[in-house]
């Protein structure tokens, strides 16, 4: 475990828990960025990370995004993220049952659901040993999709369009989230281009939505109005910004921008960008509202569209990146909740 210790020594200001079950090949990291209202929410991601430090850094970035997501969505919850290191020796059933026991021991401090690389079967194994995991992937994906649609409609309104009818949208990624986003946008009247590294997944979504399938390496430069990254993060970078033909980026992937400089490049090219911690907040809204007995989840999801429009307008007026405006707004809302206020 020396590599784990070395990784943790490089991180400051985070609460990091290390979970290990050698017999099952489990090595996982839980990063709690913030606790608000007695809980932190975030998904469980499974990836073949090169080293523990890479897993920890990924969890740190994602947990911060979850804090921003919860704050700007109006939730009384903080952000967290758990990452599992995938490798040939990982006995997934035993590992995720062990992981569930660790989550259960936290007594509800951490509430989780699926994320990239974690399967429904993995979540089912976790659910055998903890009640603090949500396994209804389809419901959560649909909630994310409704939020993305609301935010995409806000982009359209900012550019003078009444709705998404006749607009062209390129959806990158056809997993559970991407498929749900494509369905929601198709229902709104958008004309779709879709792509996925799995051709069968792209074909299924195309058949269901009437979309055109394009090659994965061409989806971000497709001749469309809006690009919706719904797979891995960091896909919008200097190179892809130069290749963009769309006038807006609005998707469900976490940490869509490669870095802060990319946000500035989008401003220079006059491309609208909806910060992903706004666009993808639907799932955590539904999850937290259910846990806290709130009945306003749908109104909060629709409010994401209003928030998007306000952020886009403010950023345009100030000539700055939407990420800057949105992060400031989220931090203000987070501090207000800590003070017990609602403004």
Rg of the chain over CA atoms, in angstroms? 19
Q: Are 134 and 115 in contact (CB under 8 A)?
A: no
Rounded CA separation 72/253 (Å): 17
Query: Six-digit token pair at 197?
Result: 């590294």
Half-sphere exposure for 179 (CA within 13 Å, toward CB): 18
Write down the catalytic residue from 14, 69, 81, 207. 81
Q: Write the CB contacts of 192 (distance below 8 Å, at least 6 apart in sequence).
A: 168, 169, 170, 171, 182, 185, 186, 206, 209, 210, 211, 212
Q: Which residues partner with 26 through β-bridges?
A: 21
Distance, in Å, from the CA atom of 334 to the CA atom of 34, rounded to the nearest integer, reads: 10
Per the annotation, the verdict on 14 as an active-site residue is no
The phi and psi torsions of 70 (rounded to 5 degrees) equal: -65, -40
**Catalytic sites, residue numbers:** 81
């Amino acid at each position: 475990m020396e590599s784990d210790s070395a990784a943790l020594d490089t991180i400051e200001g985070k609460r990091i828990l290390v979970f290990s079950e050698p017999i099952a090949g489990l090595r996982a990291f839980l990063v709690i960025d913030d606790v608000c209202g007695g809980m932190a929410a975030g998904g469980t991601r499974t990836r073949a990370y090169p080293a523990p430090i890479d897993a920890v850094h990924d969890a740190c970035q994602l947990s911060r995004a979850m804090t921003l997501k919860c704050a700007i969505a109006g939730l009384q919850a903080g952000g967290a993220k758990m990452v599992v290191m995938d490798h040939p020796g990982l006995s997934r059933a035993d590992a995720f049952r062990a992981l569930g026991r660790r989550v259960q021991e936290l007594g509800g401090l951490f509430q989780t659901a699926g994320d990239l690389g974690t399967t429904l079967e993995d979540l089912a194994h976790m659910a055998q040993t903890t009640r603090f995991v949500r396994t209804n992937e389809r419901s959560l994906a649909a909630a994310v999709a409704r939020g993305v649609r609301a935010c995409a409609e806000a982009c359209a309104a900012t550019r003078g369009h009444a709705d998404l009818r006749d607009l062209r949208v390129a959806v990158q990624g056809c997993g559970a989230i991407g498929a749900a986003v494509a369905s929601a946008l198709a229902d709104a009247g958008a004309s779709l281009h879709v792509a996925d590294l799995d051709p069968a997944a792209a074909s299924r979504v195309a058949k269901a939505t009437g979309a055109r399938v394009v090659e994965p390496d061409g989806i971000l430069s497709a001749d469309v109005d809006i690009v919706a990254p719904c797979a891995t993060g960091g896909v919008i970078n200097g190179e892809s910004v130069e290749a963009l033909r769309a006038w807006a980026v609005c998707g469900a992937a976490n940490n869509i921008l490669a870095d802060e400089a990319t946000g500035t490049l989008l401003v220079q090219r006059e491309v609208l960008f909806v910060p992903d911690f706004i666009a993808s907040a639907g799932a955590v809204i539904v999850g937290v509202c259910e846990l806290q007995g709130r009945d306003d989840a749908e109104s909060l999801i629709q409010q994401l569209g209003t928030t998007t429009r306000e952020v886009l307008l403010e950023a345009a007026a100030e000539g700055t990146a939407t990420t800057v405006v949105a992060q400031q707004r989220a931090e203000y809302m987070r501090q207000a909740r800590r003070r017990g206020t609602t403004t």
